[in-house]
Amino acid sequence: MLDAGDGGAGKACSNGLAFALEKGGGASGQGVSAANYDPNADSKADNARHRAAAAAAAAAAVVATTAPQATHGSTAGGNDSDDDGGFDMFADSDEIVRARPGMAGTGVSAAASLMADSWDDSDGYYRTIVGELLDGRYLVQAFLGQGVFSSVVRATDTQQQNAPVAIKIIRQNELMHRAGVKEQRVLERLQAADPADQMHVVRLTGSFAHRGHLCLCFELMSMNLREVVRKYGRDAGLSLQAVRVYGTHLLLALDLLRRCGVVHGDVKPDNCFVSEQRNVARLGDLGSAADVAEGEITPYLVSRFYRAPEIILGLPYDCTIDIWSLGATLFELYTGQILFPGRDNNHMLQLMMEARGHIPNRMLRRGQFWQQHFEDSGGSAMDFVAHAVDPLSGAATERRMVFARPTLDIRARVMQATPGAAPDDMQQALRFAGLLERCLELVPEKRIAPIDALRHPFFVQKH
């Protein structure tokens, strides 16, 4: 494990760290606050769009299958193969459970499923019982929260001197169970490639079954990076020393994933965790992780504010989407503001091009969804069609745009967030801005690799 000082830490501070978390100074800008952001807000809106698109596609399919020439071979009950139980990672949590109400879950018998009713709530989450002993060793201390896939509890390991652990209890649902098994296998593969635990991915310490639920046991981390920004850098962001340390650790994690051919698929401050001493960061929550070869083309992969342009356009993707997400995350840590707070995918593309210039035509034409956002007028650059809603009439509007050059430069925004004008501060901020520009290249092939980013002057040169 790297010491916090490996990232270019400064003098010891009153909080016991080798670097200061607080940056000092006032608010860094007029953008959307990273501290106040609800990480579930954008996903709910995207869920609704995904469901609407799926419903439209289903309606079109119904029209096609009800045409007279298509009636042969149909049955009164419809084609059961249409409902193949495929996991919709963008559906709301209650819809995922109710999609197949007869499902017993995780392969348990019907009788066991009925017995599970007393242990689970109506959505298949296990009811937390403080003081319960799980797997004969983990004593439940508190309920920490829940997501789409699972609930999480804090416990102590009675077989390891009451060491604190976090236990993810996967929901009682066959599809959730499969997703949990996949996450477990990815973590085990990453840990096999990092036996000395030097690459800053959260450690899976064990797994077991409890009352029909798959349970994954992890080391307990103190808080995520959004909570760190909220506590120590509200409106102003964290110090460059802190960003350097956390950035080093997260790049090591992404380098491990890249070498193992794994895409994380949801890098953001909420999925990056720090130790109790605040000097170590780890990349966690690999519930969306997958092999590069498995990459499904969908415009809703990754939380919207951290979504790379190739995902929105429907291009094949790889580990470079995680570097884009990390660039947006590091900007957030330093400035306290969200870099691309898009209302939807169309607005995301507009904000990206305002900051990074027009997306090349050759990249656009390779995407499955480019025609939703661009028009080919025969010029050197396709026209971007910005979608909006008239604030007075509520009518949908369109505006055609071409971004000859960036109008909201990342470098300028970083310098605006740099308090004071000491030459060393300015130089370090410029290096940081240069790193962000390499992470946030619109063309994926031009994005910096994790190992090369670790050699960037922002990390290598210390003052």
The continuous run of DSSP H or E covering 353 comes out as helix 345-356
Structure tokens at 312: 């929105």
Answer yes or no: 266 catalytic: yes
CA distance 220 to 218: 6
CB contact set of 357 (below 8 Å; sequence gap of 6+): 403, 404, 405, 406, 442
How many beta carbons lie within 10 A of that of residue 145, not counting itself?
Answer: 8
Cα distances (Å, whole numbers) of residue 287 to 118, 184, 284: 27, 9, 9
Give the strand order in the sheet containing 272-274: 223-224, 272-274, 281-283
The continuous run of DSSP H or E covering 406 comes out as none
Handedness of CA 453, 232, 356, 427 (dihedral sign): negative
For residues 326 and 250, the answer to whether their CB atoms sit within 8 Å is yes
CB contact set of 94 (below 8 Å; sequence gap of 6+): 123
Going by DSSP bridges, is the β-strand pair 150-157/163-170 parallel, antiparallel, or unpaired?
A: antiparallel
Per-residue three-class SS string for 279-345:
CCEEECCCCCCEEHHHCCCCCCCCCHHHCCHHHHHCCCCCCHHHHHHHHHHHHHHHHCECCCCCCCH
Structure tokens at 295: 């990459």
Q: Which letter, b or e, does each residue of 403-428 get, where b requires 16 or more Cβ atoms within 10 Å of its Cβ?
A: beebeeebbebbbebbbeeeeeeeeb
Residue of 201, 202, 463, 435 whose CA lies nearest to 329: 435
Q: How many Å separate Cα 456 from the centre of its chain?
A: 24
For residues 106 and 212, the answer to whether their CB atoms sit within 8 Å is yes
Residue of 213, 212, 214, 190 whose CA lies nearest to 203: 190
Going by DSSP bridges, is the β-strand pair 133-134/290-291 parallel, antiparallel, or unpaired?
A: unpaired
Q: 11 a known binding residue? A: no
For residues 224 and 270, the answer to whether their CB atoms sit within 8 Å is yes
Cα distances (Å, whole numbers) of residue 114 to 119, 135, 172: 10, 22, 12
Residue with tokens 């920004």: 229
User: Which candidate in 255, 266, 285, 322 is catalytic?
Assistant: 266
Residues that constitute the known binding site for ATP:
168
Residues that constitute the known binding site:
168
Residues recognised as catalytic: 266
